C-alpha cells in the first residue's frame, strides 16, 4: 500500500481498534496516538508490527491458528455457513431436518461430518465443542404472514406453535451446555413485535438467564442486494466485550444495486444457464412467463383488495427497481416479484436469479449448485438469509470474537509491554 497520511488509520480500523484502544494497549497518551493518526510522527516498529499482526485475519480468543469452530443449526442451504467461512470459521456440526435443503447443502459444501436431523432429538453432549453457535431458527411462527395464517385457522403461533415456535429453547439448551464464546441468531423482523413484544421478552429473559451479553439489530438487505428484506440479528457473547450494533456500517440503501444486477441479460452477454435460459442469447425460458389465466387472476385479486383498502397484490418490477421480499411461497404464483416483459405477460424470477438475489451467486464466484426442482429451490431461497448481510455481520463481529476490542492493556497479555522495551525507531510501511 502506498505511503500516505491514511495508512495508520487504515491499519488501525482494519484491526478494529479505536484511538482510545491504541492508547490503552500501548500506554502512550491520546495526544501521541492522534499524532500518529495525523501522520505528524510515526510509532515505533514494535507497535506498528503488532498492529499489522492484529489487522490480519484473526482467530477467536485462544483458538488455534486454523481458525475458529462454529456449528450451523437450522442450516437451510448454508447461508450462515457461507458467511462465517468467509471470515475464517470452520463448520464442525450441521443440523437441518428438510431432506431437500440437505440435498442442496451437501451439493455445495464439503462436509467432514454428517448432517444431523431434528434438533429436538439431538443431545447437546453429542454436539462437538465449538466457539460460535449460528442459528436461523424457524421464523414462520413469528412472521406477519405466518401469524395471519394461523390466526385465520385458529392455530397457535409464536411459542404456542409446538412444531416450530419452541425450537428457540433447543438453541438455548445447547448454549447452556456448551457455553460457546459467541452466538448469532437470525429471524424475521416481526419477532421483536410478536404477541405485543411478549415473545421477544421471553427470548431476552432466556439469554439473560444464560448469562450472555447481547445486542440486536434489524437490517434491511437492500443495501447489498436489490431486495427489501428485513431480518433481526441477535449477537451474543459469553464475556462482556462491549459489543454493540450501533457502530456497524450499513451501506447507503439508495446506492444499493438494482434488479438489473441479478436478472439474466438475455442478450448473449452471459453464459447460458439451462434449464433456466435457452438459446444462443440465453433467453429466459418461456415456462417462467405467467399464463393468461394466472395473470388475469392476480390482477382481479389485487383489484378486489384495493377496493377494500387493503395492500395485498402483486409486485411488478423493472430492471431499475428493487423487489419486495422473496418468500417461501414464491413457487405458488410468484406474485411478490414479477418481472415486466415487453408485449408479454410478466414472469417469475428463475431459481438462478433467486440465488443471485439472496447472495448465494456472486459475480466471479463459483456458481451455486441448485440440484432440486424449481418448487423446492423457490422455497429454499425464500427461507434463506441474504449471505451478504450475514457476511457484514460476521466481519463486524470478528474483532470482538478475537478479543481485541474493548480490552485494556493488562488484559492484552499476549502483546509486549511496549514502553518497557527499547527498540530502534523505524519508519513503517
Q: Is 139 a catalytic residue?
A: yes
| Residue 186, SS3 per DSSP | strand
**Active-site residue identified among 139, 161, 241, 354:** 139
The long-range contacts involving 20-28, CB below 8 angstroms and separated by at least 24 positions, are: 21/404, 21/405, 21/406, 21/407, 22/51, 24/407, 24/408, 24/409, 25/407, 25/408, 25/409, 25/412, 25/415, 25/418, 26/409, 26/418, 26/419, 27/409, 27/417, 27/418, 27/419, 28/418, 28/419
The long-range contacts involving 415-423, CB below 8 angstroms and separated by at least 24 positions, are: 415/25, 415/50, 416/46, 416/50, 417/27, 418/25, 418/26, 418/27, 418/28, 418/44, 418/46, 418/47, 418/50, 419/26, 419/27, 419/28, 421/46, 423/44, 423/45, 423/46
Who's near 99: CB < 8 A, 6+ residues apart? Answer: none
Asked if residues 393 and 14 have their Cβ atoms less than 8 Å apart, the reply is no
Whole-number Å distance between alpha carbons of 413 and 269:
56
C-alpha cell at 298: 392476480
Asked if residues 406 and 242 have their Cβ atoms less than 8 Å apart, the reply is yes
Residue position matching grid coordinates 438469509? 385
| Residue 264, SS3 per DSSP | coil
**DSSP symbols for 308-367:** TT------EE-TTS-B----TTHHHH-TTSEEEETTEEEEPPPHHHHHHHTTSS-TTSPP
Which residues form the catalytic set?
139
Amino acid at each position: 500500500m502506498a505511503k500516505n497520511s491514511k495508512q495508520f488509520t487504515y491499519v488501525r480500523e482494519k484491526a478494529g481498534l479505536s484511538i482510545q484502544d491504541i492508547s490503552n494497549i500501548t500506554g502512550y497518551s491520546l495526544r501521541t496516538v492522534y499524532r500518529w493518526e495525523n501522520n505528524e510522527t510515526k510509532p515505533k516498529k514494535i507497535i506498528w508490527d503488532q498492529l499489522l499482526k492484529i489487522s490480519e485475519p484473526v482467530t477467536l480468543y485462544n483458538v488455534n491458528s486454523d481458525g475458529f469452530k462454529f456449528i450451523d443449526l437450522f442450516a437451510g442451504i448454508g447461508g450462515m455457513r457461507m458467511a462465517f467461512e468467509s471470515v475464517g470459521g470452520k463448520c464442525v456440526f450441521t443440523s437441518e431436518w428438510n431432506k431437500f435443503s440437505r440435498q442442496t447443502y451437501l451439493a455445495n459444501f464439503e462436509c467432514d461430518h454428517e448432517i444431523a436431523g431434528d434438533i429436538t432429538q439431538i443431545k447437546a453432549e453429542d454436539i462437538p465443542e465449538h466457539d460460535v453457535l449460528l442459528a436461523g431458527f424457524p421464523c414462520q411462527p413469528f412472521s406477519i404472514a405466518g401469524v395471519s395464517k394461523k390466526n385465520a385457522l385458529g392455530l397457535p403461533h409464536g411459542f404456542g406453535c409446538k412444531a416450530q415456535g419452541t425450537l428457540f429453547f433447543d438453541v438455548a439448551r445447547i448454549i447452556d451446555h456448551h457455553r460457546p464464546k459467541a452466538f448469532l441468531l437470525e429471524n424475521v423482523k416481526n419477532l421483536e413485535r410478536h404477541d405485543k413484544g411478549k415473545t421477544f421478552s421471553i427470548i431476552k429473559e432466556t439469554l439473560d438467564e444464560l448469562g450472555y451479553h447481547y445486542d440486536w439489530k434489524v437490517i434491511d438487505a437492500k443495501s447489498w442486494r436489490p431486495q427489501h428484506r428485513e431480518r433481526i440479528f441477535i449477537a451474543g457473547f459469553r464475556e462482556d466485550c462491549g459489543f454493540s450494533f450501533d457502530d456497524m456500517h450499513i451501506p447507503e440503501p439508495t446506492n444499493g444495486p438494482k434488479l438489473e444486477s441479478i436478472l439474466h441479460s438475455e442478450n448473449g452477454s452471459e453464459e447460458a444457464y439451462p434449464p433456466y435460459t435457452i438459446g444462443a442469447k440465453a433467453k429466459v425460458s418461456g415456462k417462467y412467463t405467467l399464463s393468461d389465466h394466472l395473470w388475469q387472476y392476480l390482477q382481479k385479486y389485487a383489484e378486489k383488495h384495493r377496493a377494500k383498502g387493503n395492500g395485498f397484490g402483486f409486485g411488478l418490477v423493472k430492471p431499475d427497481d428493487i423487489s419486495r421480499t422473496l418468500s417461501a411461497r414464491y413457487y405458488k404464483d410468484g406474485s411478490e416479484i414479477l418481472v415486466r416483459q415487453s408485449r408479454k405477460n410478466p414472469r417469475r424470477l428463475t431459481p438462478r436469479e433467486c440465488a443471485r438475489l439472496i447472495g448465494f451467486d456472486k459475480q466471479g464466484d463459483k456458481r451455486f449448485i441448485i440440484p432440486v426442482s424449481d418448487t423446492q429451490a423457490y422455497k429454499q431461497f425464500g427461507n434463506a438469509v441474504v449471505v451478504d448481510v450475514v457476511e457484514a455481520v460476521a466481519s463486524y463481529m470478528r474483532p470482538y470474537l478475537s478479543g481485541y476490542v474493548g480490552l485494556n492493556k493488562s488484559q492484552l497479555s499476549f502483546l509486549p509491554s511496549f514502553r518497557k522495551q527499547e527498540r530502534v525507531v523505524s519508519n513503517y510501511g
